[in-house]
Amino acid sequence: MCRVVDLQQAVLAKNDACAHTLREDLAARGTALVNLLSSPGSGKTALLERELTLARSRKIPVAALTADLATENDAVRLARSQVPVKQVLTDGLCHLEAEMLGGHLHGWLPADTRLLFIENVGNLVCPASYDLGETLRVVLASVTEGEDKPLKYPTAFGLAHLVVVTKTDIADAVAFDEAEFRANVERINPGVEVVLTSARGGTGDGVLLDRALAARDGAPVHIPVMTRKSHHVHDAEDGRAHEAGDAPDGEHTHAPGEHGGHPHPTGSDTVASSRS
């Protein structure tokens, strides 16, 4: 067991180092990275498409990279916003890692990009432990997923700088208890902002974009209690993003070559982009 823990810590330490370098490289070019995490089917692609379209209408240079185990469906949808979009196919890998992400960004990311949105693999376990060099980590949950979602996935919600609730146009139909959800989020991550959105109804349009721009321009970012307790906190004094650090007991990380007994691939990618 100790060898497994040591290996996990080594993998996370290597990822943290890569994330730190990527964060510095992006900051030097004036780009903020926004890492979006959620379960499959939460509606994050629909929300992101609206935010990218809004950014383009405001003439804000943005780009998006979306990761999936298979298909290019999300990239095709996001490309309708007419901003640069790239699809990464992980071929079974359950999360993105900083070194992998840096390789996919090299030579592709437009020089004038102010915001880079990363739509992580649909999964609230593995991606939660891997810092990608983000300025803002956003966790999304739809009203259909239940009010106890934050309690079931404490690392994902506990390390979030912002929590977004999606599909609020059907909240009444599924008897979503907003007060209970907010209480559970507060229990895991005291003080984090919870935003209500509906890609179909237009509720919360532009809030994610505004929060991302504010973080990019130096506004203080919420510092989760879980981050403060981690040995991997960095730049906490000025409110910048954390190093994700270790997963708490009860959640797991994957070392390379240990996901489902198969080697972790580096992922293939395709690009679907258009510029105004």
Average pLDDT, stretch 115-140? 96
Residue 195 backbone dihedrals phi, psi, to 5 degrees? -115, 135
Q: What pLDDT score does 65 carry?
A: 98
Average pLDDT, stretch 30-47? 97
* Residue in the block written with tokens 């949808």: 77
Cβ atoms of 110 and 143 closer than 8 Å: no
Question: How many angstroms separate the Cα of 247 from the Cα of each of 114, 115, 173, 252?
Answer: 30, 27, 35, 6
Question: Where does the pLDDT of residue 146 fall: very low under 50, low under 70, confident under 90, or very high at 90 and above?
Answer: very high
d(CA 137, CA 157): 10
Q: Report whether pLDDT(46) > 60.
A: yes
Average pLDDT, stretch 63-74? 94
pTM of the model: 0.84
172-207 pLDDT, tens digit each: 999 999 999 999 999 999 999 999 999 999 999 999
Mean pLDDT (the chain) is 86
- CA 193 to chain CA centroid, nearest Å: 15
